[in-house]
Amino acid sequence: MAAPGSPADGGGVEDLWRQRWEAVLGELETDVETAERILAEAHAAPAVVPGGTPSAGPAVPTVHQGASASWVPPTGLGPVPASLQVRARALLDRQLDVARRTAESIASGRRHAAAADAMRVRSAAVPVYIDSET
């Protein structure tokens, strides 16, 4: 039996190279789809506050267990095969779009948090000074 990817197996080294790239691109596409879904969930459904009543803000998406903590690039792949370059460029465009939308979402969340803090009512423990001599 010939080794996979060897010329004797009928597929050749180029087929193995392409298959490895297809697998890597498939994994990255799955990760981008997950990120796109998380962003869509965060901006589509109303949030539920304690007590079960919907609030006006977006829902906090659930943590997806399949997401990896950190990505480690595969080694030994070489350049992207010409037949997969359109797919790889489309994937890169999607990754850049998700990164941009994630940054916008973070900035929006920070602005909303700052606005909510500014509207927070002071507690009774905060001293209030009244000028009674006027």
Give the long-range contacts of residues 94-97, CB within 8 A, separation 24 or more.
94/29, 94/32, 94/36, 95/28, 95/32
Question: Lowest mean pLDDT: which of 37-41, 47-51, 89-93?
Answer: 47-51
121 against 98, higher pLDDT: 98
Distances (CA, A) of 38 to 42, 43, 59, 62: 6, 9, 10, 8
Q: Return the domain boundaries, the chain.
A: 1-48+79-118
Q: For the whole prediction, is pTM greater than 0.85?
A: no
**What per-residue confidence (pLDDT) applies to 7?**
45
Exposure of 68 in the CB half-sphere (CA atoms within 13 A): 9
Q: How far apart are CA 77 and CA 100, in angstroms?
A: 28
pLDDT > 90? residue 11 = no
Report the percentage of the chain scoring pLDDT > 70. Answer: 69
How confident is residue 43, by pLDDT bands cut at 50, 70 and 90? confident
Rounded CA-CA distance 74/72 in Å is 6
Q: Give kind and range of the element (H or E) at residue 46.
A: strand 46-49
Q: What does the pLDDT look like over 53-68, one tens digit per residue?
A: 555 555 555 555 555 5
- What pLDDT is attached to residue 90? 98
CA distances from 17 to 23, 26, 46 (A): 10, 14, 46
61-101 pLDDT tens trace: 555 555 556 778 889 899 999 999 999 999 999 999 999 99
